Chains A and B, each alone.
Chain A
Amino acid sequence: MDTATHVMTPEHDKQQVRRIWKAFWALLILTILELSLGLTIYFLEKGAPSAFAILSIKIIIIIFTLAKAFYIISIFMHLGDEKRNMIMSIGIPALLFIWFITAFLVEGNAIRNARNTESGTRQYEQKHIRHQPLNVPPGAENKYKVPH
Chain B
Amino acid sequence: METAVVQTKKGIWSGGRSPFNVSYGKLMMWYFLLSDSFTFGAFLISYGMIRFSSNYWVDHNHVFSSFPGIEGNAPLAFVSLMTFILIFSSVTMVLAVHEGKKMNKKGVQKWLFFTILGGLAFLSCQAIEWTHLLTSTHPVLVDGHLEYWNTTTSHNPWGPRVMYEGGLVGTPGPVAFGGYFFGITGFHGFHVSVGVLLLIITLINTSNNVFQNRGHYEMVEKIGLYWHFVDLVWVFVFLVFYLI
Q: Report A's interface with B, CB cutoff 8 A.
A: 1, 3-6, 8, 13, 16-17, 20-21, 23-24, 27-28, 31, 34-35, 37-39, 41-42, 45, 58, 61-62, 65, 68-69, 72-73, 75-77, 79, 82-83, 85-86, 89-90, 93-94, 96-97, 100-101, 104-105, 107-109, 111-112, 115-116
Residues of B within 8 A of A96 (CB): 38
* Given known A-B contacts A86-B27, A107-B49, A28 and B87 have beta carbons under 8 A apart: yes
Is B102 located at the chain interface by the 8 A CB criterion? yes
* Given known A-B contacts A3-B22, A35-B76, A8 and B101 have beta carbons under 8 A apart: yes
* Given known A-B contacts A61-B243, A94-B37, A42 and B75 have beta carbons under 8 A apart: yes
**By CB atoms of chain B within 10 A, which of A61, A75, A82 has the most?**
A82
Residues of A within 8 A of B3 (CB): none
* Given known A-B contacts A1-B21, A58-B244, A108-B49, A72 and B101 have beta carbons under 8 A apart: no
Of B45, B84, B235, which contacts A100 at CB under 8 A? B45
* Given known A-B contacts A85-B19, A108-B51, A111-B53, A31 and B84 have beta carbons under 8 A apart: yes
* Given known A-B contacts A42-B76, A105-B49, A4 and B218 have beta carbons under 8 A apart: yes
- The answer to whether B91 touches A108 (Cβ under 8 A) is no
Residues of B within 8 A of A16 (CB): 98
- The answer to whether A1 touches B61 (Cβ under 8 A) is no
Q: A38-B61, A38-B75, A82-B20 are in contact. List 13 more A-B contacts (CB 8 A).
A: A5-B101, A5-B103, A24-B88, A58-B243, A62-B239, A72-B90, A72-B235, A76-B90, A77-B228, A79-B30, A82-B21, A85-B12, A116-B55
